[in-house]
Amino acid sequence: MIQSLADGILVGAILSLGAIGLTMVMHILRFANFSHAELLSIGAYSALVFDALFSGILPILANKVGPFSMTWALILSMLCAMGVTGLSAMLIDRFVFKRIREKGDELSMVFASFGVAMIIRNVLGLIFGLKSQLYSNDIVFAVMVSSEPMLLIKPDQVFVLLAALLIMLMLHFVLSRTTFGYALRAVAENPSLAEVSGIRLSRVIALVWIIGGGLAAAAGVFYGLNNHINPVIGRDLVLPIFAATIVGGIGSVYGAVLGGFIVGIAASMALLVLPSGYSPAVPFMIILVLLLVRPHGLFGEPQT
Amino acid sequence: MAEILLRATDIVAGYVKDLPILKQVNIEVKKASLTLIIGPNGAGKSTLIKAIAGVVPVTSGQISLAGEDLTGIRPDQMAQHSIAYVPQSDNIFRALTIRQNLELVLRKSKNSPARIAEMFNRFPPLASKQAEKAGTLSGGQRQLLAVAMALAVDPLLILMDEPSAGLSPKAAQEVLQLARDLTSQGVTILLVEQNVKQAMRLADHCYILAEGRNQHDADASVLLDDPIVGEIYLGGKRMSVA
């Protein structure tokens, strides 16, 4: 059981990073972006490309970092992937969602997001092939933390959890201590008032995409450290990320963090009582239960 | 004679293209005065100050502040042009603390801490609750915060859209009196108000709009005693064009 809990926490950290960007976009732009999880794929593949590039140019970067399977090149690659994915998210908004936003309604944007998701998935498949890939082919053994109860943890998992928590802490600092963070929260709460308060909406929206994309990229790389990378990462993660967002309450960054951990832990613990084939249904069940009990989520505000 | 600060000439504006709400409205606002805009529902009062603020697009006409052409500015550029706008409702950020609300509007200011201290000196009820979420404030205190946010950027002109709406009579009187007091400190106020009699007693000049056009304008003290003005609001009867 404690093993499932530990695994769930790790998955939860990855889902949280994905859900933060999604909840910000959903709240500010008022639409459910079903292509958000594809940003994880863009991030994971970008890091793969940068990793090969950096390792090729500077072989010293191909050395492993301490007990982890990742290399210095991969760490640098993750940072680059965050930038590339953030920029991609901003460009997707500029060339697709912004145009629809100006002409259509939220529903059109939801349908467009399905289209964008399909395009990203297929383009990644065309470029990188459908075969799964790994950041490292080296086998990293899990460390036995406890024998009774049995708890095995890979060093990479510790890194992922700590890095994810650090990123969340940095985001918390930005949101709660800087005027830029206040501006983000102001736009999320009342865009028209934010605008007359001197905030340029288009700039904040672009930054929200960049931040959301960057966090998704980090989530994608963290996911790839413990799983195979393939073009359907987004398809596999879209539902858990949506569940985390809805559980936390749309618009609440802290809710998204908590929602990610709840969904991750619940899906992992469900394996104790359900056959593994039913595991993907757990996020669905969580969404259904929460919508019945608390429709605005744990930290969200009721619609007035 | 007081200098004209704001001049809006032949303003045609509306939310939807080819469906103007304002049809060639003209107003002039003197420096350090309280100018009131009144009119029946749908007259275009709020639309006029939103057009000045850049919130509603201006199709034709010209808006100038102290001689500078402001026609078509973006709403986020208002503060740069020394204009502040206090919307009728939802005019504070409830999820931010009172202090954060002020820090937000002053984020580009070099003397933000000093301005915030000044606002707290001016509005002591806000100072004592500065770390609390703005959403916890009463209706009157919210209006105080909204006015403080507008004043903090040291504007030449404040546009106020029905600041007394939803307030108790006492709080409404206090907010309107605050607007009056600000003019004696050199701030110019353009006010839209449904609370006509109370506002007229405090205003310097008053414009009456109906169906998106100027109907009449005069010193507020003159209009206050005008029986026809009362008739417009009590019975909804429209004045003939003066």
Among A196, A199, A203, the strongest candidate for a mutation testing the B interface, having the largest count of B CBs within 10 A, is: A196
Judged by a CB distance cut-off of 8 A, whether residue B200 touches chain A is no
CA dist., res. A84 & res. A87, Å (int): 5
Q: Does pLDDT of A298 surpass 60? A: yes
Count of domains observed in chain B: 1
Residue-wise pLDDT tens digits, A250-275: 888 888 888 999 988 888 888 888 88
Q: Do A183 and B107 touch (CB under 8 A)?
A: yes
Share of chain B above pLDDT 70, in %: 94
Count of domains observed in chain A: 1
**Average per-residue pLDDT for chain A:** 88
Predicted confidence at residue A250, as pLDDT, reads: 84
Q: Does pLDDT of A280 surpass 80? A: no
Structural domain harbouring A239: 2-293
Residue-wise pLDDT tens digits, A189-220: 898 999 999 999 999 999 999 999 999 999 99
Secondary structure of chain A as H, E, C letters:
CHHHHHHHHHHHHHHHHHHHHHHHHHHHHCCCCCCCCHHHHHHHHHHHHHHHHHHHHCHHHHCECCCCCCEHHHHHHHHHHHHHHHHHHHHHHHHHHHHHHHHCCHHHHHHHHHHHHHHHHHHHHHHHCCCCECCCCCCCCCEEEEECCEEEECHHHHHHHHHHHHHHHHHHHHHHHCHHHHHHHHHHHCHHHHHHCCCCHHHHHHHHHHHHHHHHHHHHHHHHHHCCECCCHHHHHHHHHHHHHHHHCCCCHHHHHHHHHHHHHHHHHHHHHCCHHHCCHHHHHHHHHHHHHCCCCCCCCCCC
Nearest residue of A to residue B55, measured between CA atoms? A196
Q: Indicate whether A22 belongs to any domain.
A: yes
Q: Indicate whether B207 belongs to any domain.
A: yes
Structural domain harbouring B204: 4-90+151-235
Q: Indicate whether B146 belongs to any domain.
A: no
CATH number of the structural domain spanning residue A230:
1.10.3470
pTM of the model: 0.85
Judged by a CB distance cut-off of 8 A, whether residue B74 touches chain A is yes
Residue-wise pLDDT tens digits, B161-189: 999 888 888 888 989 999 999 999 999 99
Distance from CA of A176 to the nearest CA of B (A): 9
Q: Indicate whether A138 belongs to any domain.
A: yes
Predicted confidence at residue B233, as pLDDT, reads: 58
Residue-wise pLDDT tens digits, B190-222: 999 988 888 999 999 999 998 999 988 999 988
Q: Does pLDDT of B242 surpass 50? A: no
Residue-wise pLDDT tens digits, B133-145: 999 999 889 999 9
**B185 token code pair:** 């400190």
Q: Does pLDDT of A115 surpass 90? A: yes
Q: Does pLDDT of A304 surpass 60? A: no
Q: Indicate whether B31 belongs to any domain.
A: yes
Q: Indicate whether A298 belongs to any domain.
A: no
Predicted confidence at residue A252, as pLDDT, reads: 83
Q: Indicate whether B68 belongs to any domain.
A: yes
Pick from B53, B92, B107: CB nearest A179: B107
Q: Does pLDDT of B239 surpass 70? A: no
ipTM above 0.85, yes or no: yes
| Selection from A88-97, A293-302, B13-22, B38-47 with the highest mean pLDDT | A88-97
Judged by a CB distance cut-off of 8 A, whether residue B108 touches chain A is yes
Among B70, B86, B100, the strongest candidate for a mutation testing the A interface, having the largest count of A CBs within 10 A, is: B100
Residue A265 · residue A8 · CB < 8 Å: yes
Predicted confidence at residue B234, as pLDDT, reads: 41
CATH number of the structural domain spanning residue B52:
3.40.50.300
Q: Kindly state the DSSP code that residue B193 receives in the 8-state scheme.
A: -
Q: Do A196 and B105 touch (CB under 8 A)?
A: no
